[in-house]
């Protein structure tokens, strides 16, 4: 589901930073405690989701302060006239002071209190809304069978009914920093909405977190903005005003020619894999590159029947000068491929490295040395398996902490990295992180990565700075898939070859919307 975020909540904070803010917030004297503010905000959102009154709402309260948020939410909803059942999984005797207060407040109001012994009744009731206040950022270890039974029961109940689920702070079981499960049991409550407190969190936007959080809302609980630590982790949203400078590289002045928009050379396409190069080439062409060539490793297609504009040759017949290279689509991992890649890495031109070129680099320390020494722009576009090979890890290790993996790749290879997959991560070698907000599972089909690589090449060729090219390419690629799905093309059956036209529409719209002076001068 799409994430709805305000510009301020693009900043993503890690758990340690949230804890600092929480401690600071507690020292601020305000009419309401943080927990009360969380409960008020959650009750308002719940009422907005439900709209009709008098529907049964289940609120689950866990043993910690997330449970306190739940008690406070239940109390506020009960005061507003909702039929609330508060399912208690914590022991009030062990509660924090704030949670005790919220629990006492709730227990004095007309709502039904139940415990884990009532689970079978709970699971046979039809709820309009379930509010998950089981665990928040304090869950760090595996759960015992009571919790497992509850989470599995709730997920089974909601998957086959129209019950909505609102998670407080986090879907219980999801790691706020990484988006992986907090537990080896892979247990988490699947939510349709998450109201997260104090600040937005990376784990809600990538990996399993993206599946389990649903639509994300952020409430800062009124903690003074000046105290919010500067975040080195942001969500990618394209904002015409803020991105004006980067988008200005796409501007087309009247007195220009194709040479101003760069030449992209795609390198790959061994026998049986030439489609990958065609997809990358078509993507580069429709994304605005002045010229596009494909250098095939095996016998070259004489031309691309769909886009005869693309020049097709054998790679050995090319003299590379100042082209932007996109190496890897359908390249294979032969000795010949390695030699060509080594040659290309030595050129002082920008390069996008994808697919088999990444696999070759993973397998050949010599290529790694050449890559690290490059001074011209480099974008690496690994999917999790390619990232795993590059770092000598397993896919599970990569997906366990996608942000750290992207950062490690960027520092190790001194390159901009796009770690692909749901919630793609873009990192630079300084460890700054961007998480993409666009894209959908319609992209889980062969060839979409080739289209991304071609798009990166085209943006570099048009003069966009490397990090901006990686950011815009990732966002636009996902946005193109989202727009295709909105128009009924996908998610089922969306084809990689359909993306370039949607990408072209978006690029032209962005350029129009940013209303550059050169365009204002033109007669309409
Ligand atoms: N403080 C405030 O003012 C504010 C706090 N806020 C809210 O508080 C949340 C953080 O609260 P939290 O630190 O209490 O953590 P939480 O996620 O509720 O869980 C920890 C509890 O679970 C227990 N536990 C852990 N693992 C377990 C397991 N496997 N199986 C069983 N038990 C397990 C653990 O027990 P222990 O490890 O101590 O034995 C502890 O009791 C945060 O996400 C936000 O929602 C906001 O309202 C802002 C204001
Ligand atoms: N479930 C998903 N949600 C969002 N994006 C996805 C999803 N599945 C795949 N993608 C995107 O699709 C592209 C797939 O690239 P890749 O795995 O290299 O495919 P191929 O090698 O077939 O071209 C990446 O940009 C990735 O981020
Ligand atoms: K929760």
Tokens 């609330």 belong to 84
Share of the chain above pLDDT 90, in %: 85
Q: Is the pLDDT of residue 103 over 80?
A: yes
**pLDDT given at position 230:** 75
Q: Which helix (H) or strand (E) holds 387?
A: helix 384-391
Distance CA 482, CA 279 (A): 19
Q: Is the pLDDT of residue 454 over 80?
A: yes
CA of 234 from ligand 1 middle (Å) equals 25
> Going by DSSP bridges, is the β-strand pair 291-296/56-61 parallel, antiparallel, or unpaired?
unpaired
Q: Is the pLDDT of residue 218 over 60?
A: yes
State the complex-level ipTM.
Answer: 0.94
Least-confidence region, from 224-228, 288-292, 309-313, 457-461: 224-228
Residue spans per domain, the chain: 7-231, 244-515
Our answer on whether the CB atom of 145 is closer than 6 Å to any ligand 1 atom is no
Confidence of residue 524 (pLDDT cuts 50, 70, 90): very low
CATH fold for domain 7-231: Rossmann fold (3.40.50)
Nearest to 189 by CA among 216, 157, 160: 157
pLDDT digits (tens, 9 = 90+) for 341-378: 999 999 999 999 999 999 999 999 999 999 999 999 99
> Which of 16, 20, 138, when mutated, tests ligand 1's pocket best, judged by the most ligand atoms within 8 Å of its CB?
138
Alpha carbon nearest to ligand 1 atom 11, residue? 65
Ligand showing the shortest atom-to-Cα distance for residue 134: 3
CA of 63 from ligand 1 middle (Å) equals 7
Alpha carbon nearest to ligand 1 atom 27, residue? 139
> Which of 273, 384, 420, when mutated, tests ligand 2's pocket best, judged by the most ligand atoms within 8 Å of its CB?
420
Does this chain's domain 7-231 share its CATH topology with 244-515?
Answer: no
Residue 515, annotated as binding a ligand: no
Residue 23, annotated as binding a ligand: no
User: Which residues, 6 or more positions from 340, have their beta carbon under 8 angstroms from its beta carbon?
Assistant: 267, 297, 315
Determine whether domain 244-515 maps to CATH 3.40.1190.20. yes
Q: Is the pLDDT of residue 431 over 70?
A: yes
**pLDDT given at position 471:** 98
**pLDDT given at position 514:** 77
């Amino acid at each position: 589901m799409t994430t709805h975020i305000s510009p301020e909540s693009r900043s993503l904070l890690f758990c340690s930073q949230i804890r600092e803010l929480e401690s600071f917030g507690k020292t601020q004297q305000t009419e309401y405690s943080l927990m009360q503010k969380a409960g008020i905000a959650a009750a308002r959102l719940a009422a907005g989701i439900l709209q009709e009154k008098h529907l049964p709402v289940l609120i689950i309260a866990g043993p910690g302060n997330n449970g306190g948020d739940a008690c406070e939410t239940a109390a506020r909803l009960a005061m507003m006239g909702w039929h609330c059942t508060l399912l208690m999984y914590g022991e009030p005797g062990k509660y924090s002071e704030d949670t005790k207060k919220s629990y006492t407040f709730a227990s004095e109001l007309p709502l039904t209190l139940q415990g884990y012994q009532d689970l079978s009744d709970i699971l046979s009731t039809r709820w309009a809304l379930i509010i998950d206040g089981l665990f928040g950022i304090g869950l760090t270890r595996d759960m015992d069978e009571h919790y497992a039974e509850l989470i599995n029961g709730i997920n089974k109940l909601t998957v086959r009914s129209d019950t909505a689920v609102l998670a407080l702070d986090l879907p219980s079981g999801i790691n706020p920093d990484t988006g992986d499960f907090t537990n080896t049991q892979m247990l988490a409550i699947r939510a349709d909405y998450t109201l997260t407190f104090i600040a937005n969190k990376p784990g809600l936007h990538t990996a399993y977190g993206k599946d389990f959080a649903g639509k994300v809302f952020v409430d800062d609980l009124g903690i003074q903005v000046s105290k919010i630590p500067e975040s080195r982790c942001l969500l990618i949203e394209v904002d015409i005003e803020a991105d004006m400078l980067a988008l200005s590289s796409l501007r087309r002045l009247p007195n220009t020619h194709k040479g101003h928009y760069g030449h992209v050379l795609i390198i790959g396409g061994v026998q049986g894999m030439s489609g990958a190069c065609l997809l990358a080439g078509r993507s580069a062409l429709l994304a605005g590159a002045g010229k596009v060539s494909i250098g095939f490793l095996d016998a070259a297609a004489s031309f691309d029947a769909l886009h005869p504009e693309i020049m097709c040759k054998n790679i050995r017949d090319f003299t590379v000068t100042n082209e932007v290279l996109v190496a890897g689509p359908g390249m294979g991992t032969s000795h010949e491929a390695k030699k060509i890649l080594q040659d290309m890495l030595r050129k002082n031109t920008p390069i996008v490295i994808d697919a088999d070129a990444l696999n070759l680099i993973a397998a050949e320390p010599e290529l790694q040395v050449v890559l690290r020494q490059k001074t011209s722009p480099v974008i690496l576009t690994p999917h999790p398996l390619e990232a795993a090979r590059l770092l000598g890890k397993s896919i599970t290790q990569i997906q366990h902490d996608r942000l750290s993996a992207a950062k490690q790749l960027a520092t190790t290879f001194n390159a901009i990295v796009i770690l692909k997959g749901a919630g793609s991560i873009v990192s630079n070698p300084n460890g700054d992180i961007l998480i993409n907000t666009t894209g959908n599972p319609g992209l889980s089909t062969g060839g979409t990565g080739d289209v991304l690589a071609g798009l990166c090449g085209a943006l570099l060729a048009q003069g966009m700075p490397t990090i901006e090219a990686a950011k815009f390419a990732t966002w636009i690629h996902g946005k193109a898939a989202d727009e295709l799905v909105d128009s009924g093309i996908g998610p089922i059956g969306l084809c990689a070859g359909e993306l370039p036209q949607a990408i072209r529409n978006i690029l032209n719209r962005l350029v129009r919307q940013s209303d550059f002076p050169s365009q204002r001068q033109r007669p309409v």
